[in-house]
Amino acid sequence: MYENPEASLTPEEFIPRLETKEFGRAYHYLPEVTSTNALARSMADKGGTAGTLVVAETQTGGRGRLGRNWVSPPGGIWLSLVLRPPLAPSRAPLQTLLAAVALREALLKGAGLACSLKWPNDVLCGRKKVAGILTEMKSAGENLEYLVAGVGVNANFPGNLLPKPLREKAGTLLDLLGRPVDRPGLLADFLEIWEGYYTRALQRGYDQVLEAWRQGSGTLGKKIRIHTTRGPVTGRALDIHAEGGLIVETGPGILETFLAGEVTILEK
Ligand code: BT5
């Protein structure tokens, strides 16, 4: 059994590191939970404030998009943050990009890893996915009541704890670095950078997020296949749209914007 030698994410070890104003200030740490997103949503339903953070050491029913499963052994960073941005529900995908940009920056700062972003919600190091984001929301008509941003980072566990079929595509920070990362420090940095992007986006709009996403992207410029509800479509990923969709040239001079879907990159 792999023993984890580094600091834990208990409030005692984490809170002294936190320098945010709101993000993570209501901190709920659990050794085990079904899904931090499910718990954060129920807290938000009961009035949980913006910035409420749920972190678990392990999840027994971690969720990906579209009902998929997220494998969450101990040693990862499994978190969900409650947000209440003044944003039309149709623009909620921007919050996924915003969290991805902040996580990429935190990984560079805290672990020295230059990762790339894969639309819409993946963080890759090399060709392996080390983190994923699941943004869920509750809206009341034209208004967003709350949004729960769930982030899973494969931090301090070896990749062989993941099921075999996942190992080719999934990586962990421990395997990449050959040593554990400082999880409380990385989480505190991430929240600080995330809050910075979030606050600026609310004040001045999302241009800075889109620009940082373009710079960190490993998707733009590539030939891709996008799996959508109407089947697979092939083309070249050209740009990110102002509301977070992916603009793809699907034929000579034909540009289509996709708001959701699963992307496979077809070239190196
Ligand atoms: C995601 O979904 O990438 C979103 C993952 C969000 C997880 C966090 S953990 C904290 C919070 N609470 C939750 O319950 N969820 C969030 P998607 O793009 O659908 O990718 C899911 C797919 O990634 C699965 O179908 C697997 O193929 C693969 N996968 C599962 N576990 C993985 C892992 N630990 N690392 C890399 N890939 C994984």
Nearest CA to ligand 1 atom 9: 152
Joined tokens for residue 91: 């623009």
223 pLDDT band (50/70/90 cuts)? Answer: very high
Ligand 1 in reach of 44 Cβ (< 6 A): no
Q: Please report, to the nearest 10 degrees, the dihedral formed by the alpha carbons of residues 15, 6, 98, 63 taken in order.
A: -100
Query: Treating both helix axes as pointing N-terminal to C-terminal, what angle do 93-111 and 183-204 enclose, rounded to 10 degrees?
Result: 140
Beta strands in the chain (DSSP E): 27-33, 53-59, 77-83, 116-118, 122-125, 128-140, 143-153, 223-228, 231-240, 246-251, 254-258, 262-265
Does the CB atom of residue 152 touch ligand 1 within 6 A?
Answer: yes
Q: Decide whether any atom of ligand 1 lies within 6 Å of the 70 Cβ.
A: yes
Cβ(81) – ligand 1 distance below 6 Å: no
Ligand 1 atom index nearest CA of 71: 31
Homologous superfamily of domain range 11-216:
Bira Bifunctional Protein; Domain 2 (3.30.930.10)
Please tell me the chain's helix, strand, coil percentages from 3-state DSSP, rounded to the nearest 5: 30, 30, 35
Q: For 223-265, CATH number?
A: 2.30.30
- pLDDT range class, residue 18, cuts 50, 70, 90: very high
Q: Is 64 in the pocket of ligand 1 (CB under 6 A)?
A: yes
From residue 142, give the alpha-carbon distance in Å to each of 86, 90, 92, 116, 145.
11, 9, 12, 33, 9
Element of type H or E holding 164: helix 164-167
Decide whether any atom of ligand 1 lies within 6 Å of the 150 Cβ: yes
pLDDT in tens, 69-100: 999 999 999 999 999 999 999 999 999 999 99
The whole model's pTM is what? 0.96
CA 103, CA 150: separation in Å to the nearest integer? Answer: 12
For residue 68 and ligand 1, the question of a CB distance below 6 A is answered with yes
- CA 37 / ligand 1 centre spacing (Å): 12
CA 51, distance to chain mean position in Å, is 16
Domain boundaries, the chain: 11-216, 223-265
Which of 66, 70, 154, 173 has most ligand 1 atoms within 8 Å of CB, for mutation?
70
Residues 257, 260, 264, 268, Cα dihedral to 10°: 50
> Coil, strand or helix: which one is 118?
strand
| Alpha-carbon gap, residue 104 to 130, rounded angstroms | 11
Give the whole-angstrom CA distance, residue 217 versus residue 240: 10
- Supply 104's token pair: 């990429």
pLDDT bin (cut points 50, 70, 90) of residue 2 is very low
Does residue 135's CB lie within 6 angstroms of at least one atom of ligand 1?
no
Question: Of 268, 189, 181, which is closest to residue 224 (Cα–Cα)?
Answer: 268
65 lines ligand 1 (CB under 6 A): yes
In angstroms, the Cα distances linking 258 to 89, 99, 250 are 16, 19, 11
User: Rounded CA gap, 87 and 69, in Å?
Assistant: 28
pLDDT at 201: 97
For ligand 1, the distance from its centroid to the CA atom of residue 200, given in whole angstroms, is 28
CA-proximal residue: ligand 1, atom 11 (nearest) = 150
Average pLDDT value for residue range 182-211: 97
Cβ–ligand 1 distance for 78 under 6 Å, the answer: yes
Average pLDDT, the chain: 95
